Amino acid sequence: MPTTTLGVHSKHLHRSIENAMMKLRLASFAFLVFTFSAFGCGDKATLVGELDAAIDISTADLASAEDLVADLHAADAGVVIDTSADATPLVDSAPPNYVNLPLKNFVVDSLLAPTSTQSAAAYGVDLDGDGTIDNALGEILVGVGAIAGSTSEIQDTLDETVNLGNTLLLLRLHATDFQTDPNAIGLYWPAKTQTCCTKTGFYLNLTDCIAEAKTKCFNGSHAFTPATTTPTLLQGELTAGTFDLATPRLQFHLELTYAGTLDFDLLNARIQGTIDSNNIVNGRIVGAIPESHVARVASMLLTNLYQSNNFISNQLGTMFDTNNDGVISQLEITSNGLAKALLNPDVDLDNDGKNELSFGVGFTAVGAQIP
């Protein structure tokens, strides 16, 4: 992002802004360290001391970054919310003939980014069955938000793309009984984009946009057209209105307002939620991102935040855009000590000896028509 142009008398002003921003970054980073170390087993005072000793967040800081990652992982291990409910749902080898079963159609009307270690855990599941919740990318997003001084920008990015009608995700549930069915089926598609909110631009009022989209697209009976001819089939179960559906591979789809289309695979994907009349509440979409997709996912998410010209833009630029071209490239991610250390794939779900990066987001959905 271009920095603000300052006038001829601006040297002192510029210096004091830089100082203020540095203080803000350090305060945020200290907050991040405090937040994670509070949940981990690391020595908080030692960790903060190390960071004070090597204070700029650059490749020179790799030692500190590694400590931080060790602490993040310790923090992850500390979040044990797992129950047997997280065991992979029973997936029949051959799907039943579901076409004539009763169905309910839904469109995702909100995607929910983790804003705290607790919500990262709430939006994750135990993907590898070791008894702890896995949502490494969720925790990284919380960390990036904390470093940059705000976590609401990531949520705003998701609210914007969903309510503009750019990211529309469809889910059809088939079951004999929408309270309880041990052999429930789900079909998932991204939908073709629609204009759900007519407001655009940097000064888009998200509250107005959400209200308009609620009337126009998320009114419970609006029609959507799948963007792919074949849906992804998910199999699982429904218990007391709560479903847990699994598929070996799901393509997650996000139309980012500034960085463009982001498609990436989620291995061992799960879609879970509770049916509440014609809505889905407490939903989560989880899975593991293959290592080969990780740098691209991080590059596009960060570039979108960076280009959205919001509160954290300047700080992301300072941290990651080393060639100052307005884009946070994959190379800038993979050559950044902190990013490289943070984006550390954590689960090996296909047992190929290489880890994938766990990820989970929350969602809600409302009724929809799908032809």
Q: Long-range contacts for 333-340 (Cβ within 8 Å, ≥24 apart)?
A: 333/295, 333/298, 333/299, 333/302, 334/295, 335/59, 336/59, 337/58, 337/59, 337/60, 337/61, 337/62, 337/65, 338/57, 338/58, 338/61, 338/62, 338/65, 338/68, 339/298
DSSP state letter for 356: B
Binder to Ca ion among 92, 130, 177, 208 (CB under 5 A)?
Answer: 130
Q: Using alpha carbons, select from 226, 230, 236 the residue that is nearest to residue 271.
A: 236
Q: Which is nearer to Ca ion, 58 or 152 (CB)?
A: 58
Instruction: Find the shortest distance in angstroms from Cβ 43 to Ca ion.
Output: 25
Instruction: Find the shortest distance in angstroms from Cβ 124 to Ca ion.
Output: 8
By CB under 5 A, is residue 132 in contact with Ca ion? Answer: yes
By CB under 5 A, is residue 126 in contact with Ca ion? Answer: yes
By CB under 5 A, is residue 348 in contact with Ca ion? Answer: yes
Size of the site for Ca ion (CB under 5 A): 13
Instruction: Find the shortest distance in angstroms from Cβ 267 to Ca ion.
Output: 8
Q: Of the ranges 38-46, 197-205, 215-223, 324-332, which one interacts with Ca ion (CB under 5 A)?
A: 324-332
Q: Where are the alpha helices (DSSP H) in the chain?
A: 11-39, 44-53, 62-78, 117-122, 136-148, 152-164, 206-216, 291-307, 313-320, 330-334, 337-342
Q: Which is nearer to Ca ion, 97 or 325 (CB)?
A: 325
By CB under 5 A, is residue 66 in contact with Ca ion? Answer: no
Binder to Ca ion among 8, 12, 325, 371 (CB under 5 A)?
Answer: 325
Instruction: Find the shortest distance in angstroms from Cβ 134 to Ca ion.
Output: 4
Binder to Ca ion among 124, 321, 339, 368 (CB under 5 A)?
Answer: 321
> Coil, helix or strand for 148?
helix
Q: Which of residues 257-316 bind Ca ion (CB under 5 A)?
A: none
| Contact characters 205-244, Ca ion, x per CB under 5 A | ----------------------------------------
Instruction: Find the shortest distance in angstroms from Cβ 355 to Ca ion.
Output: 6
Q: Using alpha carbons, select from 368, 285, 269 the residue that is nearest to residue 111.
A: 285
Binder to Ca ion among 11, 38, 352, 369 (CB under 5 A)?
Answer: 352
Give the DSSP letter string of 73-110. HHHHHH-----GGGSPPP--SS----TTS-EEEEEEEE
Q: Which is nearer to Ca ion, 66 or 128 (CB)?
A: 128
Q: Which is nearer to Ca ion, 66 or 350 (CB)?
A: 350
By CB under 5 A, is residue 139 in contact with Ca ion? Answer: no
By CB under 5 A, is residue 331 in contact with Ca ion? Answer: no
- 180-196 b/e with 16+ CB inside 10 Å = b? ebebbbbbbbbbebbeb
Binder to Ca ion among 128, 199, 258, 344 (CB under 5 A)?
Answer: 128
Cα–Cα–Cα angle for 180, 184, 188, rounded to 5 degrees: 135
By CB under 5 A, is residue 323 in contact with Ca ion? Answer: yes
The four Cα atoms 38, 85, 355, 158 give a dihedral, to 10 degrees, of: -70
Binder to Ca ion among 137, 262, 327, 341 (CB under 5 A)?
Answer: 327
Given a contact cutoff of 8 angstroms between Cβ atoms, the answer to whether 354 and 348 are in contact is yes
The residues of the shown chain that bind Ca ion, judged by CB under 5 A, are: 126, 128, 130, 132, 134, 321, 323, 325, 327, 348, 350, 352, 354
